[in-house]
Amino acid sequence: DIQMTQSPSSLSASVGDRVTITCRASQTISPFLNWYQQKSGKAPKLLIYLTSTLQSGVPSRFSGSGSGTDFTLTISNLQPDDFATYYCHQGYSLPQTFGQGTRVAIK
């Protein structure tokens, strides 16, 4: 199985901050890396697919980048609605696997 490791596990930030979350895969998975946002008690929501393509309706302050085994989710100008847990996910091979999540909390 491909292991997905996110860092940090949690972070505190203020509205307006720029936040970066990283995801490292145990083997190359390009370009099949996706990012999801999950709010407490809700289902995950697709933010970015194929490393850097923004899902329809997702604000442009979210962006993704990376290649090979190392990927990044960046939230520029953090908004109150962005406080949530973020998961990376690889669709490169079965079984599909997710990172352990990064919780973004209010400072």
Partner 1 sequence: QLHLQESGPGPVKPSQTLSLTCTVSGGSRTSEGYYWSWVRQRPGEGLEWIGYIYYSGDTYYNPSLKSRLSISVDTFKSQFSLKLNSVTAADTAVYYCATYYDINNYYRYFDSWGQGTLVTVSS
Interface ranges with partner 1 (CB under 8 A): 32, 34, 36, 42-46, 49-50, 55, 87, 89, 91-92, 94-101
Q: Which is nearer to partner 1, 45 or 61 (CB)?
A: 45
Smallest gap, in angstroms, from Cβ of residue 14 to partner 1? 26
- Count Cα atoms within 13 angstroms, Cβ side, for 24: 5
Question: DSSP readout, 36-58?
Answer: EEE-TTS--EEEEETTTEEPTT-
Q: How far apart are CA 95 and CA 22, in angstroms?
A: 21
Q: Which is nearer to partner 1, 33 or 78 (CB)?
A: 33
Q: Which is nearer to partner 1, 18 or 39 (CB)?
A: 39
Smallest gap, in angstroms, from Cβ of residue 22 to partner 1? 16
The closest alpha carbon to 80, from 102, 49, 59, belongs to 59
